[in-house]
Amino acid sequence: MFAAVRAPSSSAARSLSLCALRSLSVVRVGKMSPSHTLPRSPSVSSSRGLATAVPALDIAITSSPAPESQPATLHLKSGQAISGKSFGSPRTQFGEVVFTTAITSYTESLTDPSYQGQILVFTQPLMGNYGVPDNFSGYSPNGHAEDVDVGAFLESRGIQAAGVVVSDLCERFSHFEARESLASWCARHDVPGISGVDTRALTTLLRNQGSTLGGIVVGEKHDVKPEADQFFDPMELNLIQSVSTKHAYTIHPRLGESGARAHIALLDFGSKANIVRCLVREGVSVTVLPWNYDFNAVRDRFDGLFLSNGPGSPNSIPEAIETTRKVITEWNRPVFGICMGNQIIGLAAGATCYRMSFGNRGHNQPVISLSTVGNCIKAGRVYVTSQNHGYCLSWDHDAPNGGWPAGWIPWFVNANDGSIEGLRASPESGKLVWAAQFHPESAGGPQDSHGMFTDYVDEVVKLRNAEGRSVGKGLEEEQLVPAPRSATGTPIGHVVSPSTANVVSPK
Ligand SMILES: NC(=O)CC[C@H](N)C(=O)O
């Protein structure tokens, strides 16, 4: 079944270059007629059904060649091979092959730094149909000022996945926010893709055999099986250090620093931008810290700590586990973790983590809440969630409290596979620590659990008021770089200039 899957033939894609006059950055777009201008309507209906003012952008289109599509084969280390044709960057790339059942939001998924090192297979057959927006067009669909800092649409500045596998690649995209095709976006970010693959059959294979290494091989010798040592497991690397910010910076809410309800520190393991958007929209200032920042040296300058998502294995960052252990044993302010953050809090609390057979990636993962917390999460309810993870906290059914130390309880379980989907400090422990394995910030995905951000920030503000503290002042000016304020700034989840200030040295 996997030997001879063929891509439909098509003429070589013509591509054009698109010059956004505002930023003077040059990007390529897919099939369009050369030398014309795309005007932006001053007022259109947004994808969320709201009548939204859109700033007019004149986009000049000029011809320029796109990478030619070439024969390509996806080789799996387990021996299977599936042929198709290349798109994006015409080069060979190895990694872990994982699948997502998400049917939309390929732009958000591909810019999620948690996909570093992974070749992402989309089970949904048609990909690329609504193109790719300009993250820094200066336009925010919901009119949020803070989108200028973290970008309006994407989860980081570039494509983070190592490669892309699709069934049908749509080259004639259509969406009022689209600026280029999926193929030209991948080419611009030097990311290889393969189309014409029966991704549903491939997914069945990946589900049956579990976590699988593979490589997209492009060009003349695409069908020659790579040597065994060319396949490598990215999960053995510290991927977090390459995606975490290298310096601390602060983003204030719309009302400015003086209007902030609290000041939260975010340990950036490869944070999705929407975590920052969700926090800032709750009216707090957020200081984004490198993954190995010595938070304990500055913790009392903040009202709460947030631990982000991130790529790779949680065991690759023992320094962060140790920092977190100190935080949750010595500090009594609210702490929240998402995905990698959940795993780090669990390990710091004394639980263990395992690599799942094929992980949970998609926007339709049901989780059952085991306890009521705040206004959003009620015990016994099912929440449909967005997920992207291959590791999970262990739970030993034969051990007291699942093998977890006293004072820690599971918060959610997955309704499909029974895996642990979050933990919290028990109410009796007096600690204010919660974490979710899934992504309440979504982007993309259902927003059932968005209210967890409101509940967390409310808890932070409640404690601050109860203790009579004023809003945390965050880091001193000289410990920060200026917050990113433009397309040339430093968006979340992207490598920036190095700084060694207050960073724990890796062993
Ligand atoms: N989204 C995430 O934070 C993923 C965490 C970790 N890399 C995993 O795969 O389990």
Q: Are residues 258 and 169 in the same domain?
A: no
Is the distance from CB of 33 to CB of 19 less than 8 angstroms?
A: no
Peptide bond into 143 cis (omega under 30): no
Q: Are residues 218 and 285 in the same domain?
A: no
For the Cβ of 117 lying below 6 angstroms from any atom of ligand 1, the answer is no
Please check whether residue 503 lies inside any domain of the structure: no
Query: β-strands 382-393, 263-268: how paired?
Result: unpaired
Please check whether residue 499 lies inside any domain of the structure: no
Distances (CA, A) of 189 to 5, 221, 431: 27, 24, 43
Please check whether residue 34 lies inside any domain of the structure: no
Q: Are residues 104 and 194 in the same domain?
A: yes
Q: Which of 236, 260, 281 is the last residue of a domain?
A: 236
Which band of pLDDT confidence, cut at 50, 70 and 90, is reported for residue 140?
confident
Q: Is 355 exposed, middle or buried (0-12, 13-18, 19+ CB in 10 A)?
A: middle
For the Cβ of 388 lying below 6 angstroms from any atom of ligand 1, the answer is yes
Q: Are residues 387 and 288 in the same domain?
A: yes
Q: Are residues 195 and 329 in the same domain?
A: no
What mean pLDDT do residues 360-369 have?
98
The CATH number linked to 382 is 3.40.50.880
For the Cβ of 312 lying below 6 angstroms from any atom of ligand 1, the answer is yes
Flag whether pLDDT at 312 surpasses 50.
Answer: yes
Flag whether pLDDT at 334 surpasses 60.
Answer: yes
Strand partners for 37: 60
Q: Which of 182, 209, 236 is the last residue of a domain?
A: 236
Give the ligand 1 atom nearest the CA of 309. Answer: 3
pLDDT per residue over 176-231, tens digit each? 989 999 999 999 999 999 999 999 999 999 999 998 999 999 999 999 999 999 99
Q: Catalytic: 278? A: no
Q: What six digits make up the tokens of 361? A: 């990636």
Strand partners for 250: 287
Which band of pLDDT confidence, cut at 50, 70 and 90, is reported for residue 254?
confident
The total domain count for the chain is 2
- Complex ipTM: 0.99
Centre of ligand 1 from the C-alpha of residue 179, in Å: 30
Q: Catalytic: 439? A: yes
Flag whether pLDDT at 161 surpasses 70.
Answer: yes
> Where are the strands (E) in 315-398, listed by range?
335-338, 353-369, 382-393
CA dihedral 143, 145, 146, 150 (to 10 degrees): 70
**Catalytic residue chosen out of the listed positions 339, 353, 376, 392:** 339
Mean pLDDT of the chain: 84
Q: Can you give the length of the chain in residues?
A: 507
Is the distance from CB of 141 to CB of 48 less than 8 angstroms?
A: yes
Task: Please tell me the distance from the alpha carbon of residue 412 to that of residue 403, in angstroms, as a whole number.
Answer: 16
The pTM of the whole model exceeds 0.90: no
Q: Is 40 exposed, middle or buried (0-12, 13-18, 19+ CB in 10 A)?
A: middle
Name residue 392's amino acid: C
Centre of ligand 1 from the C-alpha of residue 271, in Å: 11
> How confident is the model at residue 146, as a pLDDT?
67
CA angle 179, 181, 187 (to 5 degrees): 110
Q: Which structural domain range is residue 184 located in?
A: 68-236
Ligand 1 atom 8, closest CA: 389
Residues 6+ apart with CB under 8 A from 106: 122, 127, 128, 182
CA angle 456, 141, 34 (to 5 degrees): 140
Min mean pLDDT across 90-94, 107-111, 206-210, 249-253 is at 249-253
Give the ligand 1 atom nearest the CA of 388. Answer: 1
The pair phi, psi for residue 415, each rounded to 5°, is -75, -15
Name residue 200's amino acid: R
Q: Catalytic: 170? A: no
